[in-house]
């Protein structure tokens, strides 16, 4: 994997030619044990994942560690991940957001113990209009319908990734049967 200090230096910038859309072969390679597949997936998606995490946790070491944890989860769970489209990005973003929320919640809880009387509004830092989320939504808009729909169901309707995949597959089957 790329050095994290370089990988995170230009959050939101992607290689010329657009954002990579097809991760199926890489996920298959990862399932077969190809470390290079994880490296490639990391290089493709680290900026978007870091952007989401940094929006919740602030840029820094905790955000970098959380980002790497997301890719570690990808490696550990690759055999159980079902892509409904062709991109791993919806799974990565939902996982990153969930992990960052948990870490943020734990940090808020810790701070509350030390700072009695702080209002809940001061404790919550989850604005989806930030630059990181705007970049993620721009990237997601370039993906296939199924990937966009999984992302929408997870982020807007609060479904878990597996539930969203099932719903998208059911919807696709229903539309295909008409």
Domain spans in the chain, listed from the N-terminal domain onward: 4-116+127-143
What pLDDT sits at residue 104? Answer: 78
Strands of 34-169 (E only): list them: none
Contact criterion met (CB below 8 Å) for 123 and 4: no
Q: What angle do helix axes 89-114 and 145-156 make, rounded to 10 degrees?
A: 20
Q: Which two tokens stand for residue 17?
A: 């030619």
Q: Mean per-residue pLDDT for 79-86?
A: 91
Q: State the chain's mean pLDDT as an integer.
A: 78
Name which residue leads in pLDDT, 71 or 103. Answer: 71
Which secondary-structure segment (H or E) carries 101?
A: helix 89-114
> What fold, for 4-116+127-143?
Rna Polymerase Sigma Factor; Chain: A (1.10.1740)
Q: Give the range among 68-82, 99-113, 163-177 with minimum mean pLDDT.
A: 99-113
Q: How far is Cα 80 from Cα 112, in angstroms, rounded to an integer?
A: 37
- Spatial neighbors of 112 by CB under 8 A, at least 6 apart, are 118, 123
Position 178 pLDDT exceeds 70: no
The model's pTM:
0.61
Find, among 107, 145, 144, 147, the residue nearest to 123 by Cα: 107
Q: Which two tokens stand for residue 33?
A: 């044990």
């Amino acid at each position: 994997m790329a050095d994290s200090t370089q990988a995170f230096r230009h959050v939101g910038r992607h290689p010329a030619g657009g954002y990579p859309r097809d991760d199926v072969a890489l996920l298959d390679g990862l399932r077969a044990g190809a470390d290079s597949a994880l490296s490639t997936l990391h290089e493709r998606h680290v900026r978007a994942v870091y952007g989401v995490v940094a929006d919740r946790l602030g840029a820094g070491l905790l955000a970098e560690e959380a980002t790497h944890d997301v890719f570690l989860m990808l490696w550990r769970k690759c055999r159980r991940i079902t892509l409904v489209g062709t991109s791993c990005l919806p799974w990565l973003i939902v996982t990153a957001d969930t992990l960052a929320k948990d870490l943020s919640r734990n940090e808020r809880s810790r701070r509350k113990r030390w700072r009695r009387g702080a209002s809940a509004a001061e404790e919550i830092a989850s604005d989806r209009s930030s630059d990181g989320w705007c970049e993620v939504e721009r990237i997601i808009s370039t993906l296939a319908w199924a990937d966009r729909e999984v992302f929408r169901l997870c982020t807007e309707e609060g479904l878990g990734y597996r539930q969203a995949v099932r719903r998208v597959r059911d919807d696709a089957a229903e539309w295909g049967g008409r």
